[in-house]
Chains A and B, each alone.
Chain A
Amino acid sequence: MGHVARAFEEAGIATVTIQVGAFRHHAERMRLPRVVVTRHLMGRPLGAPHDVARQRQVLRTALNLLEEAREGGTIVGLPEPFRTMYRPFAGAGADAEGRETSSTARAHLDP
Chain B
Amino acid sequence: MSVEASRAAESETLELFKNSFAYGTRTDLLFKFLKDLSSEEAAEFLQGLLTKVGESAGDGDVARLLDHVYAWQVRAYAPREDGVHGGTWAYEDAPFAPLARPLSDARVALFTSSGHFVAGDDPEPFGVKNMSQEASIARIVDFIRSKPQLSVIPADTPDERLRVRHPGYDIRGALADPNVAFPLERMRELARERVIGELAAEAYSFMGATAQSRIVRESGPEWAARLRQRGVDAAVLVPV
Contacts and interface: CB of A to CB of B under 8 A. Distances in A.
Interface of A: 1-26, 29-33, 39-50, 52, 55-56, 58-60, 62-64, 66-67, 69, 71-73, 81-84, 86, 88-89
A55 B85 CA distance: 28
Contact of A52 (B67, B186, B235): B186
A56 B73 CA distance: 24
A8 B227 contact: yes
Nearest to A19: B239
Nearest to A72: B94
B88 to A, nearest CB: 9
Contacts, number: 234
Interface string B50-94: 000000000111110011011001101111000001110111111
Contact of B67 (A6, A13, A82): A82
A32 B74 contact: no
Interface of B: 29-30, 33, 59-63, 66-67, 69-70, 73-74, 76-79, 85-87, 89-100, 102-103, 106, 108, 111, 113, 169-174, 176-177, 179-181, 183, 186-187, 189-190, 195-196, 208, 212, 215-216, 219-221, 223-225, 227-228, 232-240
B93 A31 contact: yes
A46 B240 contact: no
A94 B190 CA distance: 41
A43 B228 CA distance: 29
Given A14-B98, A82-B67, A89-B60, A29 B74 contact: no
A31 to B, nearest CB: 4
A46 to B, nearest CB: 5
Given A3-B220, A22-B74, A13 B94 contact: no
